[in-house]
Amino acid sequence: MRRTNSRTPAEFLEFGNRQVSVPKTETRAERVTQPPESSRAVLAIVLFGSPGSGKGTQAKLLSASLSIPQISTGDMLRAHVRQGNAVGTAVESKLKAGILVKDDVVNSLVAERLGQPDTARGFILDGYPRTVAQAETLCGLLKSRGTQELVIHLVVDYNVIIARLTGRRQCPVCGTLYNLNSRAPKVPGVCDLEGAPLMVREDDRESVIRERLDAYQRQTCPILDYFRQKGEQIHDVDASHDQPEAVFRKIVGLIRER
């Protein structure tokens, strides 16, 4: 992903071979991220959705538009695997099998990440929490920071998810995601930005995808009930057929309504 046309009223982000327009006029979204300290709490956007729902893409778009960091537990865990450290060694086999990593490991990574200075004005959580225990930990972290959450649930049809993920390819250098069915690279098998050969992630194999979806239904969906029981409004956003920029505009609308 890279920014172009920075002097125009809209900022454009490149995803694969397409440009996605991100509103960068005086945006009310900016007022969300830069409010008077006395009038509005720091915002945590919590993105929910099954694997293949587009959480990662939406998190990147929101991060660029609002100038707050995207925090992806999946990305953090994969980075530890690449580094070959103790955390990476402990979680590598679980990631390959599509099994959820233990709550205490993930909670520790998130708590450490939220302690970094760039989260002071807000942040986007992509793929966390994934269990009720993680949700309880998150609520404690947010309360201690005085941070207000906005919970977004991306809703996608099961068969659409299978088609999306089995056709997904990723650049190992820049992390750009492509899809053979909907967002293919200009040159088959090669990243448009880096020229590197694209790869199939271990967790994008069909058998793993089905296990991941089963795990989502068993363990992650009850989190929505947990938030509802706490009185938190869940904002369902249909993401089955719209292009990423259309889904993004729906989410920005919800932010502006706060």
Handedness of CA 8, 12, 17, 18 (dihedral sign): negative
pLDDT in tens, 107-150: 999 999 999 999 999 999 998 998 899 999 999 999 998 898 99
State in Å, rounded, how far the first CA of the chain is from the last one.
28
Alpha helices in 54-157 (DSSP H): 55-66, 73-83, 86-97, 103-114, 132-145
- Annotated catalytic, 183? no
pLDDT in tens, 151-163: 999 999 988 888 8
From the candidates 24, 168, 169, 183, which is the catalytic residue?
Answer: 168
For the question of whether the overall pTM of this predicted structure is more than 0.85, the answer is: no
Q: Domain 3-156+221-257: which topology? A: Rossmann fold (3.40.50)
Phi then psi dihedrals of residue 121, to 5 deg: -100, 0
In the chain, domain spans: 3-156+221-257
- Annotated catalytic, 230? no
From the candidates 60, 78, 130, 164, which is the catalytic residue?
Answer: 130
Distance CA 183, CA 37 (A): 41
DSSP conformation letters of 198-240: PB--GGGSHHHHHHHHHHIIIIIHHHHHHHHHTTPPEEEEE-S
- Annotated catalytic, 130? yes
- Annotated catalytic, 168? yes
pLDDT in tens, 33-64: 333 343 355 789 999 988 888 888 899 999 99
Tokens at 256, concatenated: 């502006």
- Annotated catalytic, 2? no
